[in-house]
Amino acid sequence: MNVRAFSLLAFAGLTFAVFAQSTPSSSDSKPAVVAELFTSEGCSSCPPADALLVQMDGKTYAGAPIIVLSEHVDYWNHDGWRDPFSSEQWTQRQNDYNLRFRLDSVYTPQMVIDGSQQVNGSNGGQIGHAIETAAAQPGKLQITIADASWNNDVLHATVSVSDPSPQAAKGTTLYAVLADDQDTSNVAKGENSGRTLTHVSVVRVLQKVSSLHGPYSGPVEIKLPHGVNRSKMRLIVFAQKGQNGQIFGAAQREV
């Protein structure tokens, strides 16, 4: 069975083997691809996409590691259930993408691949094709994260970025994300009432680190938001162009 067909069957409830390929050798490996899922616990169409993101998490496809982000929007909160991970900030980020994509309106579940392609977050075939396209893009940056540690409720790390090409450097900003490794909710009301939902890489903080004009090495400090429990989390760093939203490189590590 070919890879594209397997990805289409994934949505039918089969194991998401399309993203479970063996890790390529170092000579064949490519920079990571970022998959952002805009989702909500108040949306009945979102649980399949959430489950798909769990299957994608930590996998490699088309020679590229996949870094996933779960960004919970807040515009479903009026339908009986307030998503505990939702934020207006993620709704605004989705709106910014939709302006670039020239869509008539926002929707969930929506997945954005490397900031440059948007697909239905439940469609394994579309997702696989978009990741394959993103993995083939040249000129990505090498990003590394070192010395990540907590000091009370502040995360400290050192981030390094390789010398970017003129195309990658122009108008590109380095961002840092603090995300829950995994969360589970027992939804009591709304469209998903009675369901237990599992999410991975749930974004809690997204902040600017620095504009990029050349190679970069410097500190990152992220304060844990009030009310967020510091258990197992992830630090994700990515470089994104402001003009068109394209992501030119990313890295992650557990903290």
Tell me the torsion sign for CA atoms 185, 190, 192, 195.
positive
Hunting for tokens 């990571």 — which residue is that?
A: 32
Written as one letter, the residue type at 150 is W
Whole-model pTM? 0.90
pLDDT given for residue 227 in this prediction? 86
For residue 65, give every residue at least 6 positions away whose Cβ sits within 8 Å of its Cβ, in sequence order, or none: 29, 32, 33, 58, 59
Nearest alpha carbon to residue 78 among 95, 67, 65, 91 = 91
pLDDT given for residue 118 in this prediction? 98
Select 3-254's CATH number: 3.30.1490.20, 2.60.40.10, 1.10.10.10, 3.50.50.60. Answer: 2.60.40.10
Q: Where are the domains of the chain?
A: 3-254
| pLDDT digit string (tens) for the chain, length 255 residues | 233 333 433 433 333 444 444 344 444 578 999 999 999 999 999 999 999 999 999 999 999 999 999 999 999 998 889 999 999 999 999 999 999 999 999 999 999 999 999 999 999 999 999 999 999 998 899 999 999 999 999 999 999 999 877 767 778 999 999 999 999 999 999 999 999 999 999 999 999 999 998 899 999 999 999 889 888 999 999 999 987 899 999 999 999
* C-alpha of 253 from chain center: 13
